[in-house]
Amino acid sequence: MQTVIIGATKGMGRALARKMIARGDRLFLLGRDTDELQRSAADLDARRPGARTGYATCDLADVSTFGPALEAAYTGMGRIDCVVITAGLFGTQDALEEDLDRAWQVMTVNYANTVVLCEKARRYLMANDGGGRLVVFSSVAGDRGRKPVGIYGSSKAGLSHYLESLDHKYRAQGLVTLTVKPGFVKTGMTEGLKPPPFAGEPDEVADRVIAAIDANKPVVYAPFMWGWVMLVIRNLPRFVMRRVGF
């Protein structure tokens, strides 16, 4: 499978890229920092000699970079079978309430810009005979309005809504859309935050995501316990949600 990964130089994206290269996929990396992309590509090629991992700059905060980056990936690989978007921004509720410019940036990058990138990627994927796969990291934070993640969670709620709609509309035409809903994962994005129960490791989550890709699933929670946790949270009455702190 010829896969483009946005955000493969850190955290979940890096764990996923290493597992995909190990199983024989050909990868093309997109990200903001050229030096980090070069190091990540070299790391992947060392893990599987002859892999010829390509890369190009793409900043999720700058929509003008999306088209050229995807075209570079298409030119470099000849076709695109799968696009994986792991990149995004995070901020605690208190920090975003205090800094509305940062809140605007988080909401714009996580929702509006990611949707635009998905729309551009969709055209490449659907140009293939048999279609392709679009894999996008959303979050359990988007499943229910909650005190600690009101602003960040709203950006992920919008993204999850869009991805579900995309799956309904285009699955029959060959576009398989997978919404990944991680709970707390121990990466650089969550550094400094107290891990809750069921916190996941990047490799563990990557394994679950790859299994979901291969099974053509529309949604996957990772680690798996978060599916059950969010089922409970989604069904709690509002008077309970107003009283609790999660």
Mean pLDDT, the chain, rounded, equals: 91
Sign, Cα dihedral of 32, 39, 73, 177: negative
Instruction: Provide the domain limits for residue 195.
Output: 2-243
Is 74 known to be catalytic?
no
Q: What is the CATH number of the domain that holds 65?
A: 3.40.50.720
Q: What per-residue confidence (pLDDT) applies to 195?
A: 57
Check 55, 111, 124, 152 and give the catalytic one: 152
3-state secondary structure of 9: coil
Q: What per-residue confidence (pLDDT) applies to 112?
A: 98
| Percent of the chain's residues with pLDDT above 90 | 76
| Percent of the chain's residues with pLDDT above 70 | 93
Q: How confident is the model at residue 189 (pLDDT cuts 50, 70, 90)?
A: low
Establish how many alpha carbons lie within 13 A of residue 86's alpha carbon, considering only the half-sphere containing its beta carbon: 27
* Number of separate domains in the chain: 1
Q: What per-residue confidence (pLDDT) applies to 85?
A: 97
- For the chain, where are the alpha helices, taking DSSP H only? 11-22, 34-47, 66-77, 93-98, 100-107, 114-126, 150-170, 202-214, 225-234, 238-243
